[in-house]
Structure 1
Amino acid sequence: MKFPRLLSALGSAVIIALAAGPVHAQSWPTKPIRLLVGSPPGGPSDITARTFADQLGRRIGQPVVVENRPGAGNNLAAGAAARADADGTTLVLSPDTVLTVNPLVYTTGDFNAARDLVNISVIASFSQMLVCNPSAGVRSVSELVAKAKTSPMMYASGGPGVPGHLASEMLLEQTKVRMEHVPYRGPAPATQAVLAGEVACGFLATPTVLPHVKSGRLVALAVSSEAPSALAPDVPTLAKALNQPGLDVSFRLVLQAAKGTPAPIVAEIEKHAAEIMKQAEVRDRLKNYDLTAVGSSSAQAQQVMNAEMKRWEPVVKRLGLKTE
């Protein structure tokens, strides 16, 4: 009699265990969602986050509130998400550099994005535009390279290891020229520095600098992506400017949650992300800001991040990037 009773008890336990997974997904979310962004309002991450939050809120019947927490190369927002309850109610949207570069640059503290966050989906991709102050006297990448070989030049970025810094270093590596890096506290002051002529050039967000290109205050030399920008189709790609087909220095925005978030919840958010990023209105809105909607799976996001880590690690080590 004991053995059948044991089987019966085990059967009940199995049924309960099998039911536990779907319960997580069905009960998510039980309260409003926080979506953290590690940059100020108006940048690619913020625009994407607010577009995504609006659509997600409609689908789940809960408010999705975007919180901007700029600083430390997006680490402040990512770290806050990592320390939040692993229940899928605190998410973060970060550029991929938080995973691929920051763990090598920000070596102090107890946060490591690659270790402490789970990648839910690559939401979108974006590139950078190489612009120069007209006083630099260059109107093409070849002219910039020629001038940098004969006279000292400086370029701006929004900080060590951010996309603009990496795109610039990729250009310098490909052309074997040197320019001094001048990091600023974010892309906005870096843009102002180029506008003021404090530094000659910089790879910066296309939507931010394009109005200044159109007004003649800046000169556009190239975009870092392999495909031309929809906002500036006449500006050559870096691959074309350097005659290196296949060269693609684009970046991604990754939706993440705290490590330990139950798999059914991750799968539920991943499903929403894929469906939201397929919507024509979402794709068109992001396209207006030089962003390409993606909406990958969690597994695909991890695969892409692993490849990008391998790509940028030698660059970071060559530059000796370290900060606290």
Structure 2
Amino acid sequence: MARFGRRALVGGAIATPMVARAQPAWPDRPVRLVIPFAQGGPVDAIARLLGEHLRQAFGQPFVPDFRTGAGGTLGAQHVAQAAPDGTTLLVTIDTVMTVNAALNPRAGYDPARDFTPVALLARMASAVTVPASLGVTDLAGLIALGRQRSLSYGSAGVGVPAHLYGEYLRLITGMRMEHIPFRGLGPAVTELVAGRLDLVVALMPGVAQHVAGGRLRALAVTGGARSPFMPDVPTLAETIAPGFDTTTWFALYGPRNLPPPMVAALSREVARFQALHATRERYAALTFETATATPQELRALQDRDAASWARIIQDAQIRVE
């Protein structure tokens, strides 16, 4: 367990005090894990797994606190305004830190200024997915079809990964594509399976079962390497976008100026959590891929992806209505 502020022991005795009083141990009360998306989704799943591990490690509850709305913006605003005392943390996906502010200058927080990166938690690839009835079997066939006629593609709304990946495909291939937003990825996939949509670039859990059952075809996956959950499906980097290495990632953040000892303790416990066999089994069941990064590496990843998505948002002229 990690505790801070206790006076040092030297030779089995309490050292001569150099500070007037010891600081209280952390955490000395329940910690809220703010989840900026609805219950039942992948952010909720990973937050609950992590929260249980942290409860056992630190001896205090790590309580889910759902603050949903505006694509994760409301939850991020809440954490950005919280005191940096270690009692309010954020479990989120990448777009909250890399996309929202670029889409909406009035998002109410600055991802680069208002948060302390703590740890990368996991990655999840997306798959370029079409209905089997569309009659295309690879990405080249989809591109050829998309240059002949307009293709409809679905997402869970403006600025979510499925929308951004769709626009990226449109920009680099010259396909004619029409974006159709839904209230969640589930309805979009339902329409895709029924053949009423041509394409969804969907997170793995939403389509893996349909691909395995032959109702949908996965033509490519995001990320720099093939997904262990669809090893026969090539990456976008292999096919049409050399060097493309972007996935949806999940991370733990605190408010700005979170004390370094708290950051270090949390980062260590996340690493222990990810190394557990039970964690790897649960990750696999949810199609998460294990990913680790120091706080500094997480900041660099955030900055890199924010710059990449900002260019795509500008080139595609994406706006929040």
Deviation at 1:127, TM superposition (A): 1.1
The correspondence for 2:292, drawn from 272, 290, 295, is 295
Q: How many residues align?
A: 305
Please name the residue that 2:124 is paired with: 126
**Greater fraction of residues in helix:** 1
- Deviation readout 1:9-46 (Å, 9 max, x if unpaired): xxxxx9329x87xx46xx11111222122223343322
Q: Give the Å deviation of 1:109.
A: 4.8
Q: Which amino acid aligns with 2:187?
A: P
Contact 1:33 1:89 in 2 (8 A): yes
Measured in 2, the distance between the counterparts of 1:34 and 1:187 equals 27
Identify the residue that residue 306 of structure 2 maps to in structure 1. 309
Q: What is the rounded CA distance, in whole Å, between the counterparts of 1:107 and 1:190 in structure 2?
A: 28
Unmatched tracts of structure 2, length 5 or more: 1-16
- Secondary structure at the counterpart of residue 91 of structure 1: strand
Show the counterpart of 2:248.
251
1:147 counterpart SS class: helix
TM-score (norm 2): 0.86
- 1:35-70 CA-to-partner distances (Å, cap 9, x unmatched) read 122223343322222221121111111122223433
Amino acid corresponding to residue 197 of structure 1 in structure 2 = G
1:280-318 per-residue CA deviation (whole Å, 9 max, x = no partner) reads 321332133221222322111111111112222111111
Q: Which residue of 1 aligns with 2:195?
A: 197
Amino acid at match of 2:144: A
In the alignment, structure 1 residue 268 sits paired with structure 2 residue 271: no
Q: Match of 2:33, as an amino acid?
A: L
Q: Which residue of 1 aligns with 2:147?
A: 149
1:162 has 2:128 as partner: no
Q: Determine helix, strand or coil for the equivalent of 2:108.
A: coil
Partner of 1:116: 114
Task: Measure, in 2, the Cα distance between the counterparts of 1:95 and 1:150.
Answer: 35
Query: Displacement of 1:217 after TM fit?
Result: 2.7
> Which structure 1 residue ranges, 5 or more long, are not aligned?
1-13
Separation (CA, whole Å) in 2 of partners of 1:42 and 1:237: 28
Query: How many angstroms does 1:116 deviate by?
Result: 2.0
Q: What are the residue-to-residue correspondences of 1:1-324 with 2, within 5 Å?
A: 15-16=18-19, 23=23, 27-242=25-240, 244-323=241-320
RMSD value, Cα: 2.3
Query: Aligned to 2:102, what secondary structure does the other structure show?
Result: helix
CA contact (8 A) 1:276 1:295 kept: no
Q: Measure, in 2, the Cα distance between the counterparts of 1:223 and 1:145.
A: 15
Q: Is the 8 A contact 2:33 2:90 kept in 1?
A: yes
Cα deviation code 1:107-128 (max 9, x no counterpart): 2253333332221111111210
What letter matches 1:218 in structure 2? Answer: L
Percent identity between the two aligned chains: 33
CA offsets 1:165-189 (integer angstroms, 9 cap, x no match): 2222232333232311222233223
Answer yes or no: is the 8 Å Cα contact 2:100–2:107 preserved in 1.
no
Task: For 1:300, give the aligned amino acid.
Answer: E
In 2, distance between residues paired with 1:33 and 1:104?
A: 30
